[in-house]
Structure 1
Amino acid sequence: MEEITILQMRDLTDEVKGADFYANTIPQHLITNHNHVEKPHRHDFYVCMIFTQGSGTHEIDFHSYEIKPGAIFVLAPGQTHSWVLSDDIDGYIFFHTQEFFDLYFVRETIREYPVFRSSYYPNGLIIEGQDKLILESVFKRIAEEVDGNRWKKNTVLVNLASLLYIEFNRLILAGDSFVAVSNLQYNNHLQHFEDLLEKNFQTEKSAAVYAEWMNMTQKHLNRVCKTLVDKTTTDIIIDRVILEAKRMLIYTGKSFNEIGSMLGYDDYSYFSKVFKKKVGYTPKEFLKKYN
């Protein structure tokens, strides 16, 4: 059976092999890595890009975003994405490993940024005016820094990347759909919950069990989830299961029964009911509609 391709840094161009940070213009990136990026795929590294010219669509975990000048996207490891681009596309792209970022920041982790902390924050934005000019210049500086070999090169790169992530997340939190929550403890709880969920969603669906693993009551975990992303704990668990089901349905060619079983549902009819309640279609109807 076909699996979703998971790209690693070493899978890209020869110049990337062994590197922890890569940057390029988008046209040049597409030329040198065309065989790897033309199909839907995941990465095991962080990706950030901005489009300065052209048009198209960018699909990230079944959310479709418009591509136009000023479109900026940030992806965490494990997210599935694909795109359709016009011939006149232009812009900048960079990516790096988790280790590259963590090596330079002792008191800060990349997972603290909302877009990397929770799947409920958008991966794409359209920026305009002064924000667009500033962030384009940062991307350009990153590309120039990668091409050179000046003193403290990696320190400059990690600080420029951090600046971009901060500005991107500020724009997200300033949007109408999100409320910036200053409660660091709540943020840490949500991150801990989603870390546990990522490792266990195929075998454990009980909100009470996750709360127990986190040494808190289910009521308190539910309060954390509702406050930060306006979802119940169970909603978040099922959303993660359904996302993986969609990925497997579209990209792997596995049978419906096999997918249900891999996600912890031995009774396919029950899995189908759960899927339809959340998506509005049965797995078979969803696959037909999506294709």
Structure 2
Amino acid sequence: MTKTSGSVVPVFKLYGETAAWPTPDLIHCESIPERSKPHDWEIKPHRHADLVQLLYVQSGSAELLVEDQLVVVEQAALQVVPALSVHGFRFSEDICGHVLSLAQPLVDQLSSVLEQTPLARAACYPVGGQKHYLDALFETITSEYSQPALGRDLMLQSLISALLVWVARREQAVTHAENLLPDRGREHLQRFHRLLEAHYREHRSIEHYAGELGISAAHLNALCRRLAGQSALQIINQRLLLEAKRCLVYSAMTVNQVSDSLGFSEPAYFSRFFKRSTGVTPKVFRLQR
């Protein structure tokens, strides 16, 4: 997915729609496939003037670009997209999840009661062990949204308030964890990302990167998990996978050439790595795009 600096970014009510808000509600709820399938599973960079969106990826994979920060999601996660944030998404065809759009006045109202503004900054929160809770919450929101019933508006606001509390607690937990760590830890993680960017094609070990940083492999893994929510190996593999996807989508290289360019010893090994991460072979992935 390409970044958008220097280009004109369209402003939409909902993606691809410049007409008025489609319902009298201050809420719009739909599934990710409903919104993305008509656009070949890609939502190109755009922004909303007065909407906040919560994108819940339940399963499948997604590339989420928000304000030039690209996150590759392979497990359940909730992405916060504040109003006016430039964002674009690309999804796998087996994607499952929801898009909840909230008008800014409603967000302001609920945030004032909470005395916190959890939807003011872009963030992607892994769901982990709370997936069952979020699945049930979004399913109930969708059910209430789709059919009129007594107390519908009150119920929707209550459910969305519960969701905002969940986001606020996750934001608080992340901030607390970051504040507990010395600045040195964040510096190590930043240096690790710079080293990885320079050498990911060389398939260097975690021990090698840790040695370059002057720390142990266990320390590097702990920093990655606490600051990035992933192990060092997951970060390395996601960087390789992202580049592989870019090559397959945006270049004319053969699968063997992509394998060679990314430093894999054999194309068969590359294909196994790619399928293990995405569920499909490189060839099938390219044909799906």
For normalisation by structure 1, the TM-score amounts to: 0.52
Partners of 2:61 and 2:92 within 8 A in 1: yes
Q: Indicate how the Cα distance of structure 1 residues 65 and 106 shifts in structure 2: closer, same or farther if over 3 A, else same.
A: closer
* Letter matched to residue 113 of structure 1: T
Partners of 2:55 and 2:78 within 8 A in 1: yes
Q: Indicate how the Cα distance of structure 1 residues 107 and 63 shifts in structure 2: closer, same or farther if over 3 A, else same.
A: closer
Partners of 2:41 and 2:90 within 8 A in 1: no
Identify the residue that residue 60 of structure 1 maps to in structure 2. Answer: 66
Partners of 1:21 and 1:94 within 8 A in 2: yes
How far apart, in 2, do the equivalents of 1:46 and 1:36 lie? 21
How far apart, in 2, do the equivalents of 1:115 and 1:107 lie? 12
* Letter matched to residue 44 of structure 2: K
Q: Indicate how the Cα distance of structure 1 residues 76 and 15 shifts in structure 2: closer, same or farther if over 3 A, else same.
A: closer
- Render the CA deviation track for 1:40-97: whole Å, top value 9, x for unaligned: 0111201012111111211111112122231111111001111221111111111121
Q: Which runs of no fewer than 5 residues in structure 2 stay unpaired?
A: 1-5, 181-289
Identify the residue that residue 12 of structure 2 maps to in structure 1. Answer: 7
Partners of 1:9 and 1:20 within 8 A in 2: no
Q: SS of 1:50's equivalent?
A: strand
How far apart, in 2, do the equivalents of 1:64 and 1:143 lie? 28
How far apart, in 2, do the equivalents of 1:65 and 1:57 lie? 6
Identify the residue that residue 177 of structure 1 maps to in structure 2. Answer: 178
Q: Tell me whether 1:108 sits opposite 2:138 in the alignment.
A: no
Q: 2:76 aligns with which of 70, 81, 89?
A: 70
Q: Tell me whether 1:79 sits opposite 2:85 in the alignment.
A: yes
| Paired residue total | 171
Identify the residue that residue 44 of structure 2 maps to in structure 1. Answer: 39
Identify the residue that residue 134 of structure 1 maps to in structure 2. Answer: 133
Q: SS of 2:178's equivalent?
A: coil
Q: What is the deviation of 1:138?
A: 0.5
Q: Which runs of no fewer than 5 residues in structure 1 stay unpaired?
A: 180-291
How far apart, in 2, do the equivalents of 1:148 and 1:12 lie? 25
Q: SS of 1:7's equivalent?
A: coil
Q: What is the deviation of 1:35?
A: 9.0
How far apart, in 2, do the equivalents of 1:14 and 1:26 lie? 21
Q: 1:30 aligns with which of 19, 36, 40?
A: 36
Q: SS of 2:100's equivalent?
A: strand
Q: What is the deviation of 1:12?
A: 6.6
Identify the residue that residue 186 of structure 1 maps to in structure 2. Answer: none
Greater RCO between the two (CA within 8 Å, min separation 6)? 1
Partners of 2:58 and 2:97 within 8 A in 1: yes
Identity of aligned residues (%): 19
* Letter matched to residue 138 of structure 2: F
* Matching of residues 196-207 of structure 1 within 5 Å: none
How far apart, in 1, do the equivalents of 2:65 and 2:89 lie? 6
Partners of 1:102 and 1:109 within 8 A in 2: no
* Letter matched to residue 100 of structure 1: L
How far apart, in 1, do the equivalents of 2:64 and 2:101 lie? 17
Partners of 1:50 and 1:136 within 8 A in 2: no
How far apart, in 2, do the equivalents of 1:115 and 1:98 lie? 10
* Letter matched to residue 5 of structure 1: P
User: Aligned-residue CA RMSD in angstroms?
Assistant: 3.0
How far apart, in 1, do the equivalents of 2:119 and 2:111 lie? 20
Q: SS of 1:161's equivalent?
A: helix
- Render the CA deviation track for 1:188-230: whole Å, top value 9, x for unaligned: xxxxxxxxxxxxxxxxxxxxxxxxxxxxxxxxxxxxxxxxxxx
Q: Indicate how the Cα distance of structure 1 residues 5 and 37 shifts in structure 2: closer, same or farther if over 3 A, else same.
A: farther
Q: Indicate how the Cα distance of structure 1 residues 13 and 52 shifts in structure 2: closer, same or farther if over 3 A, else same.
A: farther
* Matching of residues 200-239 of structure 1 within 5 Å: none
